[in-house]
Amino acid sequence: MQKIMIIEDEAALAQELALLLTQAGYQAYVVQDFAHPLLEIESQLPDLLLLDIQLPGVNGHQLLQKIRKKYQFPIIMVTSRANEMDEVLAMSYGADNYITKPYNPTALLLHIAAMFKRMQPQSTSLIQYHGLQIDLNKWTIAKEDQITHLTKNEQLIFQMLWQHRGKIVTREMLMTELWNNDEFINDNALSVNISRLRQKFADLDLADVIETKKKQGYLLME
């Protein structure tokens, strides 16, 4: 059974979320100790995290950064902060999705199910690319003794570009692949994920690997 951790300071909402997840067949775990959330993550090792931004004693964005330094499980921000800057920051810090309150329970479950579906192992997991080894199962890019971890969205973007390497992949194709339904498309989130993916390749001495084709999409260097 897949375990989903909830970091939400509104007790009633946290319990509502836990009930929703339990009824959907997931194991729900609600964090109670907001002073030491990383210790609870370490002890529980969830398969997915639902994270609020406004938490007592800790900023959700800062917590997200700390989590991403050590863990690569999917993280969905569930927050009442609907401004664009908060969303861009969350995605740049490693969030896989951003959902604002009040949310549609069915839509949230669809987001979660889609996230788990995308986590299933790929039949061909290892890719050799310009001196790098990319593992689609482990979500890593390796060059000699250097290893960089990808978020699930970054891995999916690369996989889509790899499958169509040498050809233009439109933003619409990428967003449909990521969120499975046009209703859930977020243009800013895609831009942030592309930027992060480019930077990770650049950090391993492979700059300009993803070319932007104005008003068309993106092209992966062959």
pLDDT digits (tens, 9 = 90+) for 54-68: 999 888 999 999 999
Model confidence pTM above 0.95: no
- Where do the H-state alpha helices sit in 45-151? 60-68, 84-92, 105-118
The number of residues making up the chain comes to 222
Q: What is the pLDDT of residues 1-49, one digit of tens each?
A: 899 999 999 999 999 999 999 999 999 999 988 889 999 999 999 999 9
The domains of the chain, with CATH numbers, are: 3-118 (3.40.50.2300), 126-220 (1.10.10.10)
Note the pLDDT of residue 121: 58
Percent above pLDDT 90 for the chain: 49
Average pLDDT score over the chain: 88
Which has more confidence, 14 or 152? Answer: 14
Give the confidence band of 120 by pLDDT, cuts at 50, 70, 90: low
